[in-house]
Amino acid sequence: MHTHTGRTAIVTGGSRGIGREIALRLAAQGCDVVVNYHGREDLAEAVVRAVEARGRRAIAVRGDVADEAEAEALFRAALDAFGRIDVVVSNAGIMKNVPIADGALADFDAIMRTNARGAFIVLSKAGNHLGEGGRIIALSSSVIARSTPGYGPYIASKAAVEGLVRVMANELRGRGICVNAVAPGPVGTELFLEGKSAEQIAALARMAPLERLGTPADIASIVAFLAGPEGAWVNAQVVRVNGGFA
């Protein structure tokens, strides 16, 4: 059922993994989609073609979400192409294992730049460009609740995202805009699986009571719910989608 027909969604980091699935799910429900990417144009264009195969319009826009000028250009491209912005999904992010005692400030800065600064800029632009009844959804992580060694900078960046979401929901009072976060548990994307042994992956899958890794579709379905009319009474929340992982 097309619940978003006539609406436009921006999905940052939309060329692969969870972002790709979110873009396709929103398209299947009637959204035109702006697929933001930073590196792989070929993957972004493949998502555009997949959206168009679902009967919706799409464009791919390269841009570093942590660069304010490039983020503004992304939103301007969406308005130029489709005339409106209704849904913004802040999904772009990076993850790296960085033990705090190592003092790897360059890695810390890189993670915070993309995950925290990038989310701040995207949320700021969304607040300026969304109309009445818009939806803003930022991706966090359920690893926040587990304090997993090596994830300090990543957890710090995602804790910042959750704080921004709750504050922004209050700042947008009176405009009918819902601002929420979705916090996945372990999801079997290429990025997540990279560098892990079969034994490590199996152990991670067993951590949740449902005893499997999540899929991008598991996450996209919740994002689509929050983006649509059914999610109109959900605001300033962090939805943990993790099979009981945390």
Q: pLDDT digit string (tens) for 6-53?
A: 899 999 999 999 999 999 999 999 999 999 999 999 999 999 999 999
- Asked about 154 being catalytic, the answer comes back as yes
Mean pLDDT is highest, among 146-150, 164-168, 186-190, 197-201, for 164-168
Residue 2 confidence (pLDDT): 56
The pLDDT-based confidence of 77 (bands split at 50, 70, 90) is very high
Three state DSSP letters for the chain = CCCCCCCEEEECCCCCHHHHHHHHHHHHCCCEEEEEECCCHHHHHHHHHHHHHCCCCEEEEECCCCCHHHHHHHHHHHHHHHCCCCEEEECCCCCCCCCHHHCCHHHHHHHHHHHHHHHHHHHHHHHHHCCCCCEEEEECCHHHHCCCCCCHHHHHHHHHHHHHHHHHHHHCCCCCCEEEEEEECCECCHHHHCCCCHHHHHHHHHCCCCCCCECHHHHHHHHHHHHCHHHCCCCCCEEEECCCCC
Specify the pTM. 0.96
Out of 75, 108, 154, 245, the active site residue is 154
Residue 4 confidence (pLDDT): 66
Tell me: pLDDT of 191 over 80: no
The pLDDT-based confidence of 3 (bands split at 50, 70, 90) is low
Domains of the chain, earliest start first: 8-182+220-236 (3.40.50.720)
